[in-house]
């Protein structure tokens, strides 16, 4: 992609500016689609039909929502710390959005082809933690602060399992760059890391149980890091009103939502590129190429976004003690077993 | 090398610019009718009681400390995983010893009941 | 290269500025947030030195983990305002001042002696040294013993944290 832009525009900074703008052009339409998906899927799961009047079957409702939010009064509580209150939504959004730079959208495009790839995503998502904490503290509201503290405790507890489950795939590939990880899995569905990767048959079969476990845990920890049901304690509306964004209104509130949807896709993107072949076609060389690879990446990503919505309407919310139990006493020990086993299989 | 990080800076700048533009649009289109009630802290319709910045439980502190320690472990694990193939058998044993020592720590924390949230 | 020096000087100014703001703020939460900004500037400076792994670790561990702990502790102790903490000149402050002065003198001596006697790295080598593969190989072959000792240090830290936090009030 950058080569193409270089050919078109010559050696100027504009190349990087355009290349860097592409993820934003993806996130915004994605958020609109995701709002609609969330609305429609949840409605149909409960035998409702959701909005039907704005456009065909209500497809224009997200656009109407955005226009409505633009006309809302932007309030800042008198007791809040004004500066931090305004800064917090930006940080939360940046934590998710900056991660998109290291997602390989297609065999020809990755926002920023850095060696550290997925490690960079882990680091930059810590910005969101700081932002959440800031939003809760600056609001000077009990619900906000409780929600923020819970949210931060939850995200940092689940960061260990997610980092360790990413590690299992990294051990197999030997690279942190998600573009390389995707390339490693080329050649069809049997080469995806969740099925043991492109290894000799015996090694593959030995790896299989551990890669599937790690894949499952990564998705689970990902949902927890995005604070979605069944891990949505930070905004448990029956006890904490709206959690950390109780005091926010208008566009600032919308930015928190945009961040949530961006994070949903980021988590799906990481799972897909590490374990499900990224942009590679499941049929080997059939239907591959830069455009098809973009299609595969987005299709796989959207499937996991759909799965997150589905889970939301299927499972009840966990209690805080169950949450901590799952992270520290179940997922973390399991992953250490996975790491040892994968290491042993690869060394022998 | 620095060039490959350049798009990240532009992305962050673009994201901030987008946010600022949206907030300015909101300011432009939205009404501005401040009342004292509207700007008071929301407490489910009650008069706000004291400040929200109360003291917090030591449990949060425990979780944060454990997170830091395991985070540092993860930082060591990543370079190991990347050069794992080349390090071979010796690298595996090295990391085995390292992780086992830390698992003793996890076991201790577990037995002491610091992972229970009550 | 002009781009690199622009990046370097803007980050340098921002990091010194945020550090000054951090020290002068009255509210500890806001001071902590300026410290986070400072960490991000330092990570950027590491990038200009081609040390990408250190840069990312700096954000992951310092800005992401240690600062969360700092903020939790500030909220745990409810330090609304640092004036509550300020006390008159005590022996502790004098010792701290002396140590800071010693550190300042050491830093100045480095400025004076410059880079004499240090191994020279050219740009290509620096690029090599900063990668995660290189660090992994060095850490697990040349610096094996310090690495293993680190695990004991971390174990001691875990036990210490439990002892502090789980102490029964008498």
* Higher-pLDDT residue of A329, A284: A329
Kindly state whether residue A70 falls inside one of the protein's structural domains.
no
Q: Does B85 touch chain C (CB under 8 A)?
A: no
In this prediction, residue C170 carries a pLDDT of 46
User: Which tokens belong to C18?
Assistant: 């945020």
Beta-strand ranges (E) seen in chain A are: 104-106, 109-110
Distance (Å, whole) CA C131 – CA A176: 11
Average predicted confidence (pLDDT) for chain A: 84
Q: Which of B64, B86, B97 sits opposite C137 (nearest CB)?
A: B86
Q: Is the pLDDT score of B40 beyond 70? A: yes
Rounded to an integer, the average pLDDT of A140-168 is 86
Q: Give yes or no for A329 touching B (CB within 8 A).
A: yes
Closest residue in B to C152 (Cα–Cα): B101
**How far apart (Å, rounded) are the C-alpha atoms in residues C128 and A328?**
37
Interhelix angle A250-275/B2-29, rounded to 10 degrees, is 150
Task: Please name which of A168, A229, A171, A220 lies closest in space to residue A327, comparing C-alpha atoms.
Answer: A220
CATH of domain C1-81: 1.20.120.1200
Number of H helices, E strands in chain C: 8, 0
Q: What is the pLDDT of residue B52?
A: 65
Name the residue among C156, C148, A343 with its Cα closest to residue B104. C156
- 95-124 in chain A: CB under 8 A from chain B: 97-98, 100-101, 111-114, 119
Asked if residue B1 has pLDDT above 80, the reply is no
Which chains are within 8 Å of B by 3+ CB pairs? A, C
In-domain check, residue A222: yes
Domain-embedded: residue A226: yes
Domain assignments of chain C as residue spans, ordered by start = 1-81, 131-170
| Subunit contact A126:C63, Cβ cutoff 8 A | yes
User: Is A8 exposed, middle or buried, given 0-12, 13-18 or 19+ CB atoms closer than 10 A?
Assistant: exposed
CA distance C23 to chain B (A): 22
Q: Quick check: B87 and C52 CB within 8 A?
A: no
- Sign of the Cα torsion B58, B59, B65, B68 reads negative
- Backbone angles phi and psi of A343, in degrees to 5: -60, -45
Query: What is the ipTM metric for this complex?
Result: 0.86
Q: Give the residue numbers spanning the domain of A206.
A: 79-347
Neighbour tally for A198: CB within 10 Å: 16
- Residue contact B101–C152, C-beta within 8 A: yes
Whether B76 and C139 lie within 8 Å, measured CB to CB: yes
Residue A217 banded pLDDT, cuts 50, 70, 90? very high
What does the pLDDT average to over A49-71? 83
Identify whether the C-beta of residue C61 lies closer than 8 Å to the C-beta of residue B68.
yes
Residue B78 and residue A79: Cβ atoms within 8 Å? no
Please give the interface size between A and B, counted as residue pairs whose CB atoms are below 8 Å apart. 202
Measure the CA–CA gap between B12 and A98, rounded to whole angstroms: 6
> A127 to chain C: nearest residue by CA?
C64
- Give how far Cα A285 sits from Cα of A127, A189, A196, C12, Å: 39, 11, 20, 49
Q: CA torsion, points B6, B9, B11, B15, in degrees to nearest 10?
A: -170
- Pairwise CA distance, residues C151 & C71, whole Å: 26
Subunits that touch chain C (at least 3 Cβ pairs < 8 angstroms)? Answer: A, B
The span from the CA of B112 to the CA of A82, in Å, is 42
The total of structural domains in chain A comes to 1
Closest CA–CA distance from residue A123 to any residue of chain C (Å): 4
Q: Which two tokens stand for residue B81?
A: 């995983």
Q: Kindly list the residues from chain A whose CB atom is less than 8 angstroms away from the CB atom of residue B45.
A: none
pLDDT in tens, C52-102: 888 888 888 888 888 888 888 877 776 555 555 566 667 888 898 899 999
Distance CA A156, CA B63 (A): 8
- Domains delineated in chain B: 2-112 (1.20.58.1610)
Which two three-digit tokens encode residue C106? 């050491």
pLDDT over 90, % of chain A: 7
Calculate what percentage of chain A has a pLDDT beyond 70: 94
Q: Mean pLDDT over residues C26-39, rounded?
A: 86
Q: What is the CA radius of gyration of chain A?
A: 21
Q: Is residue A42 included in any domain, yes or no?
A: no
A81: left (phi over 0), alpha (psi -120 to 50) or beta: beta
Residues from chain C that touch B72, judged by Cβ atoms under 8 A, are 61, 154
Picking from B10, B97, B101 by the largest number of C CB atoms within 10 A of its own CB, the best residue to mutate is B101
């Amino acid at each position: 992609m950058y080569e193409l832009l270089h050919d078109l525009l010559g050696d100027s900074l504009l190349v990087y500016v355009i290349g860097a703008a592409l993820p934003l052009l993806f996130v915004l339409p994605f958020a609109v689609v995701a709002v609609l998906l969330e609305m429609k899927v949840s409605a149909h799961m409960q035998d409702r039909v959701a909005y039907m009047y704005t456009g065909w079957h209500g497809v224009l409702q997200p656009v109407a929502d955005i226009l409505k939010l633009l006309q809302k009064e932007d309030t800042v509580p008198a007791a809040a710390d004004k500066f931090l209150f305004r800064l917090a939504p930006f940080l939360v959004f940046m934590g998710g959005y900056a991660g998109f730079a290291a997602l390989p959208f297609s065999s020809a495009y990755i926002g920023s082809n850095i060696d550290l790839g997925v490690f960079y995503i882990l680091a930059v998502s810590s910005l969101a933690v700081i932002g959440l904490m800031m939003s809760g503290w600056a609001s000077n509201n009990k619900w906000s602060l409780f929600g923020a503290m819970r949210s931060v405790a939850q995200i940092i507890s689940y960061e260990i399992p997610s980092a360790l489950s990413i590690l299992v795939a990294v051990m197999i590939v030997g690279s942190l760059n998600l573009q390389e990880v995707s390339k490693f899995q080329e050649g069809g569905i049997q080469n995806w890391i969740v099925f043991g990767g492109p290894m000799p048959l015996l090694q593959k079969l030995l790896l299989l149980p551990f890669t599937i476990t790690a894949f499952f845990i990564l998705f689970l920890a990902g949902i927890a890091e995005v604070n979605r049901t069944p891990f949505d304690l930070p905004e448990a509306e029956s006890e904490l009103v709206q959690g950390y964004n109780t005091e926010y209104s208008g566009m600032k509130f919308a930015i928190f939502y945009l961040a949530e949807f961006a994070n949903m896709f980021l988590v799906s993107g990481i799972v897909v590129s590490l374990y499900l072949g990224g942009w590679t076609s499941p049929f080997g060389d059939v239907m591959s190429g830069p455009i098809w690879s973009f299609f595969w990446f987005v299709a796989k990503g959207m499937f996991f976004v759909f799965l997150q919505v589905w889970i939301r309407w299927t499972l009840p919310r966990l209690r805080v003690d169950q949450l901590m139990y799952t992270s520290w006493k179940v997922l973390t020990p399991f992953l250490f077993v996975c790491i040892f086993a994968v290491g042993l299989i690869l060394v022998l | 090398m620095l060039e490959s990080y350049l798009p990240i800076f532009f992305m962050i700048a673009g994201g901030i610019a987008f946010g600022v533009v949206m907030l300015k649009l909101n300011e432009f289109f939205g009404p501005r009718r401040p009342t004292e009630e509207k700007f008071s802290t929301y407490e489910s319709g009650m008069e706000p009681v004291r400040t929200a910045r109360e003291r917090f439980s030591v449990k949060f502190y425990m979780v944060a400390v454990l997170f830091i320690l395991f985070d540092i472990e993860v930082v060591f694990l990543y370079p190991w995983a990347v050069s794992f193939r080349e390090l071979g058998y010796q690298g595996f044993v090295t990391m085995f010893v390292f992780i086992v020592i830390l698992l003793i720590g996890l076991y201790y924390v577990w037995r002491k009941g610091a992972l229970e949230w009550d | 290269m002009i781009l690199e020096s622009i990046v370097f000087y803007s980050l340098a100014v921002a990091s010194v500025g945020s550090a000054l703001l951090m020290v002068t703020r009255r509210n500890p939460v806001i001071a902590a947030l300026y410290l986070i900004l400072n960490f991000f500037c330092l990570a950027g400076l590491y990038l200009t030195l081609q040390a990408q792994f250190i840069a990312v670790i700096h954000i992951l561990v310092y800005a992401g983990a240690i600062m969360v702990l700092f903020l939790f502790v500030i909220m745990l102790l409810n330090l609304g305002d640092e004036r509550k903490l300020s006390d008159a000149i005590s022996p502790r402050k004098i010792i701290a001042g002396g140590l800071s002065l010693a550190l300042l003198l050491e830093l100045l001596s480095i400025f004076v002696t410059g880079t004499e006697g240090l191994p020279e790295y050219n740009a290509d080598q620096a690029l090599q040294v900063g990668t995660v593969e290189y660090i992994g190989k060095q850490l697990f072959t040349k610096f094996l013993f310090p690495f293993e000792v680190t695990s004991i240090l971390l174990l001691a830290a875990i036990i210490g944290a439990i002892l502090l936090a789980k102490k029964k009030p008498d």
